[in-house]
Structure 1
Amino acid sequence: MADMEYVRQVELTNKVHSELFHVERPQSVKALRDLILECDAGLSLQLQKFVALNESFALNNGRAVSGNGGESDLRKALLSVDDEADMNGFIMEFASKSPPQQVGMMKFEVQKHPIFPLPPVQQPQQEPPRPSEPQQINPRPPYDPHAQGAFGGGGAVVTPAPRPVRRPVKPVFGVPLEVLLQRDGNAVPIVVIQCMTAVELYGLNVEGIYRQAGATSHIQKIKEIFDNDPSKVDFRNPDQFFQDVNSVASALKQFFRELPDPVLTYALYDEFIESAKIDDDNARRDALHGLINRLPDAHYATVRALVLHLSRVMQYSGQNKMNSWNLSICFGPTLMSARQEDLKNTNWQHRALDTILRNALDIFDED
């Protein structure tokens, strides 16, 4: 009995280690990379403000600000900065300095005790099992940790079969907003409504809400819930989202990231960027307001609900530290992106959303 429990624990360890190696670690690295790029984008914007103020100060003192090429040297230096290339170069510097490491996932195997042999009843299973033997030993599903592997003491452990991917019954993530509207009849997708409800009930006082990442396993389970039976979801009950409001916030951002066409649409992206560059606050607000009114119905209803929700989050910025600018850093590239990666306009994306959030009640009527 102890031998069987030992084998089961080894198999369970291999399964957990495999999930860490293939799922948890890559997702954590991606989240860290995205956070670094967001910080870099914020720093770049502050540098742009510094350059503008410095040039204004110099001009007020009757000094020239252009270099030999007819452009401000400071501005030229700032435009030459490539955040992503700098980060990749920094990482590669340390890659050459780190000691060689074994590539691939470690696999744990059952070790036979040198003194105490296994009971005789287990001897027929010491040879490597034939392909059909796992089904003969236990016909239960392979993803049950109690049913995986062979129970021999000297043979290699059978690697746990990967858990089959559950095909969404009624997918929500990765589905265009127009399709969700036609299929479900809701102007605002149910996943957006439920996630916003959870945040407003349990997350308004949470420091860093929408900035702090939730648990990857919880986010994945939340996605599966909405992709299969969203009608039974009621996030007024915190047990339904594992008492983890940060995972709800992360799932909401993930929903917007996976949309085939962003909420503020590819078609209007260039116009949003140009509107963000307007210096006058009122003119910039009016230009962005006009573009929002041109959005398709499903996109307009969704962005309206989200912006009014984020406006309520901002009202608690004294506790959660999430003002309009911090929220624009979290949501800007998610709600408004180009078909091709466009890092040079990241700051304008933030400025556009920051303007929309600060003027939420002027742009949208709150029910």
Structure 2
Amino acid sequence: MQPLAALCGEDGTLPQPIQVVLDILHQQGPSTEGIFRLAASGTAFRELREALDSGADVDLGSQPVLLLAVILKDFLRSIPAKLLVTDLYEDWMAAMQKSVKEEKVEELKAVAEKLPAANLLLLKRLLSLLQHIGHNASTSRMSCSNLAICLGPNLLSPASEDLLPLEAMLEVTQKVKVLVEFLIDNCREVFGEEATGLSSLPAEESPAPMDRSTGMRRV
């Protein structure tokens, strides 16, 4: 897959299918039990991913919500160097070492500012969505901690991931989970007021559809 920025519109907007998926998940995710944890039909997933990759016109609103969650996880997993950027792994971990919350927030802000603009935009939208779902855990059965466990490995890993022994990889997974959970819980403090409500744009305010040839196609 191309870098995320290459899939975005010239004005920096996220790929239209991803915007639609985020909006639908914002609306329906909080009331969908097991969102991001439960699997979807393998056949349905492959068919929908192939349709999106080819630039076909897909009615995402008619798709099962759990399937859209799996599609989003797959998209995040396929971003080169991951959404939080592999090369920034040590920076993220160093920020999490701060013992005072305010210092931790400031350090995380500084690391986030090193992200490519497209990654930062998607990160803000994603964290807003996950916080919304986590705050409705009574119906979604997915707390912020659960969501961090399910999505953390798709968002960040160290550059040497493939060389790590199992025990070290488990430690990395736990550290990433703690980071992602903190970012979900504190997305407003880290990213400002604009990090909340970003996933619930009314349809008429959504950016115009992109050229379908630059939708979610992988290269």
- The offset of 1:186, in angstroms, is 4.7
Inter-partner Cα distance in structure 2 for 1:178 and 1:201:
26
For residues 115-144 of structure 1, give each alpha carbon's deviation from its aligned partner in whole angstroms, at most 9, with x where no partner exists.
xxxxxxxxxxxxxxxxxxxxxxxxxxxxxx
Inter-partner Cα distance in structure 1 for 2:99 and 2:153:
21
- The offset of 1:315, in angstroms, is 2.3
Q: For the aligned residues, what is the CA RMSD?
A: 1.9
- The offset of 1:252, in angstroms, is 0.5
For residues 187-209 of structure 1, give each alpha carbon's deviation from its aligned partner in whole angstroms, at most 9, with x where no partner exists.
22223212222223333212110
| Secondary structure of 1:268 counterpart | helix
Query: Post-superposition, which runs of at least 4 consecutive aligned residues in structure 1 deviate over 4 A?
Result: none
Which of 121, 124, 145 is matched with 1:301 structurally?
Answer: 121
Identity of aligned residues (%): 23
Which of 233, 245, 250 is matched with 2:70 structurally?
Answer: 250
Which of 171, 176, 182 is matched with 1:349 structurally?
Answer: 176
Is 1:175 aligned with 2:2?
A: yes
Which of 200, 218, 221 is matched with 2:47 structurally?
Answer: 221
For residues 15-53 of structure 1, give each alpha carbon's deviation from its aligned partner in whole angstroms, at most 9, with x where no partner exists.
xxxxxxxxxxxxxxxxxxxxxxxxxxxxxxxxxxxxxxx
What is the one-letter code of the residue matched to 1:353?
A: V
Is 1:193 aligned with 2:19?
A: yes
Task: Check whether the contact 2:5–2:12 (CA below 8 A) recurs between aligned residues.
Answer: no
Query: What TM-score do the two structures reach when normalised by structure 1?
Result: 0.48
- The offset of 1:185, in angstroms, is 5.0
1:204 corresponds in structure 2 to 30
Aligned residues: 187
Inter-partner Cα distance in structure 1 for 2:37 and 2:85:
23
Query: What TM-score do the two structures reach when normalised by structure 2?
Result: 0.78
What is the one-letter code of the residue matched to 1:346?
A: T
Structure 2, unmatched stretches of 5+, are: 199-219
Instruction: Flag the structure with more relative contact order, 1 or 2, with Cα contacts below 8 A and sequence separation at least 6.
Output: 2
Is 1:282 aligned with 2:102?
A: yes
Task: Check whether the contact 1:187–1:302 (CA below 8 A) recurs between aligned residues.
Answer: no
Inter-partner Cα distance in structure 1 for 2:40 and 2:126:
19
Structure 1, unmatched stretches of 5+, are: 1-173
Is 1:262 aligned with 2:95?
A: no
Inter-partner Cα distance in structure 2 for 1:175 and 1:224:
16
| Secondary structure of 2:31 counterpart | coil
